Amino acid sequence: MTERLSQRDIIQLVEQKMSHRPKIVTMFKNCYENTLETTIHRHEDGTVFMLTGDIPAMWLRDSVNQLRPYLIPAGQDAELQAVIEGVLRYQCQSILRDPYANAFNEFDNYHGHHQDITELTGWIWERKYEIDSLCYPVQLAYLYWKNTGVTHHFSEEFKQAAELILQTWRVEQRHAELSPYSFERPNGGKTNTLPGEVGYTGMTWSGFRPSDDACEYGYLVPSNMFAVVVLGYLREINELFYKDEAMSALIDSLQGEIRQGIEDYALIEDQEFGQVYAYEVDGLGGINIMDDANVPSLLSLPYLDYCLKDDPIYLNTRRMILSERNPYYYQGSCARGIGSPHTPKDYIWHIALSIQGITSTDAAEQEALLDIFERSDAGTNLVHEGFHKDDPHQYTREWFSWSNAMFVEFVLSLCGLAIKMK
């Protein structure tokens, strides 16, 4: 059904299904239309550069999340297909330029964080190595196929980018011994300082979280879980379109080792909540119990298709991270939800509220989250990065396209318009 819906059909369906919440309908329409109207830069070669919003750069992670809501109508919309395929081509080219960079410039112009001490070129806005930055373009390519039937984007260039992703993850399983990556931001503080020593676990190392803040411990568990899912996508893509035996062997090996590392090092027994997943570990006994608003997160595991919503370990973990055990879970007079060390204390993120709603099986919880959205937009009819738990007029980022898109996905899911995942 969803493959036959146009963007106009989707808006009309949301208007019908959410007619009891006119404020949510208005916010949905504004957020849904905002991305295509404001963030797309088309190039003559067919590639598309996609602004993250109020920063003039393209994040691999953000650009995928910005496009996800448009996968539903893309099957019958040649214009949308051109945008998605153009972004995918730009992402593949960016990965081939540098698999360790998280954000790129539109042109070879040396804009961005060029005071950082790392290997930089003019194409790179920022070179913070994050596992999820390599996961997301593969996710977009796979979900584009599954939601539209289109396959011609599985080109030789895509295969080269996929092979480089696999090689990078293999190297970063033994970061200390094999990795060429280093990063230093002068006077950058703790959130810009790479994590310390790690032991071998089978998982692959990450320098930074999807918030662009440095990991406390080098094995970022939700990002490794996302890698497990994406490796499954690459296996299916390879079997059907490339039939490369060496690539297949590397995929199988990496996926098995990372999954086993998660089970061996990140699954812990908590006295209060039972078996739960840690957010980060170092393989040497260091464990970080928390969750961050940015995706991948522990809260987002069913959204990423790592587990089902009713998975017992996930439910235990969910109860823990939606409580005061998570140092970034805040409760105030306006809202309660997960924030991030990336923003000030007591700032709740709209992305986390959207993910909480998408992964919930409780209609009352989802309605309560809609209530929060209605009173936390600060009169803008858009959503933001973080807002103060007691005063939504104190917020960060006037224009944050990923957050707008995530809210759109939440509303779509409530209207029975979830993205096809397989």
Report the distance separating Cα 373 and Cα 377, nearest Å.
Answer: 6
pLDDT tens digits for 110-134?
Answer: 999 999 999 999 999 999 999 999 9
Q: What is the pLDDT of residue 399?
A: 84
Which pLDDT value is given to residue 283?
98
Q: Which helix (H) or strand (E) holds 86?
A: helix 78-97
pLDDT in tens, 41-91: 999 999 999 998 888 999 999 999 999 999 999 999 999 999 999 999 999
Which segments in the chain show pLDDT lower than 70? 1-3
* Separation of alpha carbons 321 and 341, rounded Å: 15
Residue 41: the pLDDT is: 96
Whole-angstrom distance, CA of residue 317 vs CA of residue 259: 17
Long-range contacts of the stretch 168-171 (C-beta < 8 A, 24+): 168/99, 168/100, 168/134, 169/131, 169/134, 169/204, 169/227, 169/254, 169/258, 170/204, 170/250, 170/254
CATH of the domain at 112: 1.50.10.10
| pLDDT confidence of residue 1 | 37
Residue 229's H or E segment, with its range, is: helix 221-237
Per the domain annotation, does 160 fall within a domain? yes
Please answer whether residues 86 and 42 qualify as being in contact, where contact means their C-beta atoms are separated by less than 8 angstroms. yes
Model pLDDT, residue 171? 98
Q: What is the pLDDT of residue 373?
A: 98
In a domain, 421, yes or no: no
pLDDT per residue as tens digits for the range 319-350? 999 999 999 999 999 999 999 999 999 999 99
Q: Does residue 146 form part of some domain?
A: yes
**pTM for this predicted structure:** 0.97
Preceding omega of 195 cis (within 30 degrees of 0): no
The answer to whether residue 422 sits within a structural domain is no
Q: How far apart are alpha carbons 126 and 258 in whole angstroms?
A: 27
Structural domain of 408: 2-414
Could you tell me if residue 120 is inside a domain? yes
* Residue 206, both tokens: 């990450």
Could you tell me if residue 420 is inside a domain?
no
List helix spans (H) across 98-220: 131-148, 156-172, 175-178
Q: Is residue 83 part of a domain?
A: yes
Neighbours of 242 (CB within 10 A): 17
419 located within any domain: no
CB 221 within 8 A of CB 280: yes
Structurally, the chain folds into a number of domains equal to: 1
